[in-house]
A and B are shown apart, each in its own frame.
Chain A
Amino acid sequence: MIWLAMDTSTTTLTVAVLRDGELLAEHSDRAERNHSIRLVPAIEEILREAGVTKQQLNGIAVGHGPGSYTGVRIAATVAKTFAWSLGIPLVGVSSLAALALTAALEDGVDAADLYIPVMDARRGQAYTGLYGRTELPDGQPSMIALEQDANRLAEPWFAAMQTVKTWKVVGETDAFTSALQTTNAESKYVELRAYAIGLLGLERFAKGEQEEVHHFVPNYTQLAEAEVNWLAKQQG
């Protein structure tokens, strides 16, 4: 089973090719926010590097967000169009879960039990969730969502977590240095890896889950501002 994995929800553009659980090739860069320019060429390059043709692909895993609206749209659109064009399955996974898994893979034996992945959503806000580390039958680490992915104010979110014993904040931690100082949590800057997207995608697919390609959309976690305003006006 050869799968292509991708994510553009953060400033990092990341693509990977996996055979079963094994990583064949991976490329990540955070040169600039030009994912719409780079993503398709990066896919072509990574397939070449892995020595895999498009026709050999068995499926596509994509980070469905949350994250930058434009960013999550780019990977979601490329992934669904690729999957539809090739007639292969598509699986979307949480980009935050993948961020947490990236950290756990890095942490290895020192991995924490609870991870709080964070992405900068500006003005003290974070795209974030709460994930519990678990182990798959083959010994690979995985993540279970304990709280929904959402856009939250970082400081009160961290404060509420203080009741939980040990937790680790991972991801774009550099955007939350002052909020993190109010806690005693461990934190670590981590860049999302498509490898983690691929692992989570394969796990979902093994459970018999996949997307209805035409209807696949990113998880923005919130309505567009104009819709929020319109709804508020309706309620007077």
Chain B
Amino acid sequence: MQGTYILAVETSCDETAASVVRDGREVLSNVVSSQIETHQRFGGVVPEVASRKHVESVTMIIEQAIEEAGIKPSELSAIAVTQGPGLVGSLLVGIVAAKAMASALDLPFIGVHHIAGHIYANGLDRELQYPLVALVVSGGHTELVYMERADSFEIIGQTRDDAVGEAYDKVARALNLPYPGGPHVDKLAHESEHEVKLPRAWLESDSYDFSFSGLKSAVLNVLNQAKMKGETVDPSALAKGFQASVCDVLVTKAQRAVEQYGAKQLLLAGGVAANRGLRTELTKMCSEVNVELVLPQMQYCTDNAAMIGAAAFVKWNQGRFSPLNMKAEPLMSLKSWIEQ
């Protein structure tokens, strides 16, 4: 068989996922078992419950990924797994499963940075062109990453408090929307014609950092003050105002980064990349400044293992593998990963 076949496993949070990717580009299978229904009743991901669920489904999901790819385990080239960042208990299950498989089949083993995975997911269906800037937005991350080459990362900005996805979930909870709240806020914002004006946190004029806790408090303030006055707030107008503030800050900072770094492409990555409002605003901005916008396909926005297979291929090309005593890194940085 021609090519490099990487089996990738991802269990950093509440999805058990496995995928077979050929040459870092061609997704032969992409199986994701979501635990959303399990965690819904708790109003958020419970780490111990998530870890237990991973043990329950990990080999089944791997088997399904291999079967759907139409290959035999003996035809695999390497086993890859998310090393971090993420919930330590969840990471451990995927890591020890992947190690056991690499050992049993005598295959090279590759630990992958979760966010690198989100970024390289954009390269699954097209050629990435460097230098580029990636805007990573998820429940745990809000980062602007500059990549001069395929194997270099520089974090030029990040959130100082809440991640975007976290802010969305908190606002959704305040508006009594079901968990996970992000998509509901996005939907409400689209339905409204009115907008409750909310502040923007720009921070220092040259900073690429973000802050969303003030905005979240502003939303709660509007709700509380209305309650005290016995008034009701139109939740969709509030959602629209919140989304407008978030998008304005993200898009403006991304634009400045793209211009300053002379990026050929702007990549959007992470769970919040599915947000329609953000996609629309970024599309508008990129056509204005004449930079190619790369949006991930919807199935690669949320956590998946195909993206881990794509990122692992970078390490495969460098011939850099991980030892079987690799540690889970719940707080891993992109820089430490690419250098390891």
Contact = CB atoms under 8 A, between A and B. Distances in A.
Given A38-B325, A220-B52, A224-B46, A85 B101 contact: yes
A227 B58 CA distance: 21
A33 interface: no
Nearest to B46: A226
A82 B103 contact: yes
Contact of A73 (B51, B104, B327): B51
A69 interface: yes
Contacts of B60: 214
Interface stretch (B92-100, B135-143, B169-177): B92-100
A81 B59 contact: yes
Given A37-B326, A38-B325, A81 B89 contact: no
A81 B31 CA distance: 17
Contacts of A225: 48
A177 to B, nearest CB: 30
A81 B62 CA distance: 9
A95 to B, nearest CB: 16
B70 interface: no
A157 interface: no
A73 B41 contact: no
B338 interface: no
A193 interface: no
Contacts of B106: 54
A74 interface: yes
Contact of A214 (B48, B49, B63, B101): B63
Interface in B25-42: 41-42
A43 B326 CA distance: 15
B105 interface: yes
A89 interface: no
A137 interface: no
A80 B59 contact: yes
B104 A77 contact: no
B249 interface: no
Contact of B55 (A34, A43, A73): A73
Given A215-B56, A224-B49, A226-B49, A41 B100 contact: no
Contacts of B326: 37
Contacts of A85: 73, 100-101, 104-105
B223 interface: no
B133 interface: no
A37 B322 CA distance: 12
Interface string A75-119: 011111110111000000000000000000000000000000000
Contact of A227 (B49, B104, B328): B49
A70 B55 CA distance: 11
B48 A81 contact: no
A217 B104 contact: no
A218 B46 CA distance: 18
B48 A77 contact: no
A41 B324 contact: yes
Nearest to A81: B100
A74 B92 contact: yes
A39 interface: yes
Contacts of A76: 55
Given A44-B324, A86-B104, A226 B48 contact: yes
A34 B92 CA distance: 11
Nearest to A233: B41
A81 to B, nearest CB: 4
A24 interface: no
A141 B73 CA distance: 40
Interface in A189-236: 213-215, 217-218, 220, 224-227, 230
24 contacts: A34-B327, A37-B326, A37-B327, A39-B96, A40-B96, A40-B100, A40-B324, A44-B103, A54-B106, A69-B89, A74-B92, A77-B93, A78-B97, A81-B58, A81-B97, A81-B100, A82-B100, A82-B104, A85-B105, A86-B104, A217-B52, A217-B55, A220-B52, A230-B41
Given A77-B97, A85-B101, A86-B104, 14 more contacts: A37-B326, A40-B325, A54-B104, A69-B48, A69-B51, A73-B92, A77-B96, A81-B62, A81-B96, A82-B101, A214-B60, A224-B52, A227-B46, A227-B49
Interface of A: 34, 36-41, 43-44, 54, 69-70, 73-74, 76-82, 84-86, 213-215, 217-218, 220, 224-227, 230
